[in-house]
A and B are shown apart, each in its own frame.
Chain A
Amino acid sequence: MKKSLFVYAFLLGALFSVSAQVSADSPSATQWNTNFTSQTAYWTVNWNIGIPMGETNDYISKTSFRGISLDGRYFLTDEISIGGVASWQVFNERLRNLPPQPIEDQDGVQGDISGSQYRYLNAVPIMANAHYYTDLGSTTAYFGTGIGTMYSEQRTELGLNAFVDESWGFAFQPEVGVFIPIGWGDAGLNVAVRYLYGTASGDQDNVSALTFAVGFGWLY
Chain B
Amino acid sequence: MKIKFSLWIVVAVLSLGLVSCYPDSDRPIEDYDSTSTFYDEDAFSPPPASVALFWEVNQVENDDEDDIDYNGEIDDEILNTTLENLVDLYGEANVTIISEDDIPSPTPSNSNVQVVTPSDADPTPDVDAVVAPSIILRNQYVGAIYPGYPWYPWWDWWYPCYYCGYPPYVSYTKYEVGTVILDMIDTSNLDDDPNTEDDTSPMWVAVFKGLVSSNESSNASRVITNIDQAFEQSPYLK
A68 with B34: in contact, given A18-B6, A106-B170 (CB under 8 Å)? Answer: no
Q: Is the interface of A mostly helix, strand, loop or mixed?
A: strand
Q: How many residues of A contact B (CB 8 A)?
A: 53
Q: Which of B7, B10, B39 contacts A109 (CB 8 A)?
A: B39
CA distance A7 to B32 in the complex (A): 27
Asked if B22 and A111 make an inter-chain contact with CB atoms under 8 angstroms apart, the answer reads no
* Interface-located stretch among A27-35, A113-121, A133-141, A202-210: A113-121
B66 in the interface (beta carbon within 8 A) = no
A47 with B18: in contact, given A15-B10, A112-B233, A187-B4 (CB under 8 Å)? Answer: yes
Q: How large is the interface on B (under 10, 10 to 19, 20 to 34, 35 or more residues)?
A: 35 or more
B18: chain A residues at CB < 8 Å are 4, 7-8, 11, 47, 65-68
B3 in the interface (beta carbon within 8 A) = yes
Given A114-B34, A118-B27, 19 other A-B residues pairs in contact with their CB atoms under 8 A? A7-B14, A11-B15, A15-B10, A18-B3, A67-B19, A68-B12, A88-B19, A90-B23, A92-B24, A108-B41, A110-B41, A111-B39, A113-B36, A114-B35, A114-B229, A120-B22, A159-B209, A186-B4, A218-B8
22 contacts between A and B (CB under 8 A): A11-B10, A15-B11, A47-B15, A90-B20, A90-B23, A92-B24, A94-B31, A96-B31, A111-B38, A113-B35, A113-B37, A115-B31, A116-B30, A120-B23, A155-B22, A159-B34, A160-B34, A160-B176, A160-B209, A186-B4, A215-B11, A218-B8
